[in-house]
Amino acid sequence: MATITIRDVAAEAGVSIATVSNAFSGRKVVSPEVVQRVEEAARMLGYQKNIAASQLRTGRVKVVGVLVPSLVDTFFAALVSDLEEMAEADGYQVLVATSGDDAAREAAQLDALLGWKPSGLIAVPCTNAIPEALRREMATLPIVLVDRIGEEDLPVDTVVVDNHAAGREAARHVLEMGHREILVAASVAGLRPIADRIRGIIDACHAEAVTPRIAELGTDVEDGAARMAACLAREGHPTAVIAMTNVTTLATLTALAQSGIDVPGDVSLVGFDDYAWMTARKTPLSAVRQPISNIAQSAWSCLMARIGGSRDEPVRLTLDAPLQRRNSVCAPRTVPGAA
């Protein structure tokens, strides 16, 4: 099958090759009617724009790279989706890469993204350490770091939530309901956001002379459920669980259900991230709500300002993550710990 070219699109649309090029690139003004005709011709013929070739010709490309640990985790998938909508509105394409929570893969994915010479980059590192590839680019490439930021005083804009306050508020909620046997369902306790949430929980608990237990469940739902089930079998169930991510929330619910433990009759539960499924249950979950749209908007606004030439001091944005109180937390039974 012959390759469809820009010449074929021009013939189908009844315009010149230069008009098709301008309609695709935006270098010169083309009427909306003609742009629509060109795009319809391209779709009908199955024509694919050669972005790399366009970049070589013009020396610029409106592409932004986005690096996240995973698209299986709903938090990161929602973040990417919001960023793609904002990019489209501003005329940018988004190249998405995932690290799989692996530093070696992260380095390879960054090399691939940077090979496109993007206009800027939004990244969630897979560990507390800033990847060397990003560190090398910080002086010349607009970069915004989001969520997992393990260092202070970075020379780039950062967007996080107040994880310490979120953990503290979740703990206060279960403490106020009378819980003293509390289990924290963490993913990876050493990651900065998780560590800050745990620190907030511990601070609130210590004020009430309570010492919470901590279980690391990892970043996979099935594996996390198995770890939680093993913890319940080994140590008995607490009266309350505070989950640190949407993944550990799902893992905890799975393990509790498999063990025949009722929420909230046997165990109260506070989740994290507050997605629609958390309310689409017989007992809606209390959950910390991360403001994903605001995180994405803040990161995108910072990046657009840098791409636009801003040389202001790096912005440090910390957003609130409020607790949504529902029916999954109630007073503990009088005989806690019996599975």
For residues 157 and 314, give the distance between their C-alpha atoms in angstroms, rounded to a whole number. 5
Structural tokens at position 188: 């990876």
User: In b/e form, how buried is each residue of 220-241, taking b as 16+ CB within 10 angstroms?
Assistant: bbeebbbbbbebbeeeebbbbb
Q: Tell if the pTM clears 0.85, that is, is over it.
A: no
Q: What is the DSSP letter of 108?
A: H
Tens place of pLDDT per residue across the chain (339 aa): 567 888 888 999 999 888 888 887 666 778 888 888 988 988 888 887 665 555 545 555 689 999 999 999 999 999 999 999 999 999 899 999 999 999 999 999 999 999 888 999 999 999 999 999 999 999 999 999 999 999 888 999 999 999 999 999 999 999 999 999 999 999 999 999 999 999 999 999 999 999 999 999 999 999 999 999 999 999 999 999 999 999 999 999 999 999 999 999 999 999 999 988 999 999 999 999 999 999 999 999 999 999 999 999 999 999 999 999 999 999 998 544 443
Grouping H, G, I as helix, E, B as strand and the rest as coil, residue 30 is: coil
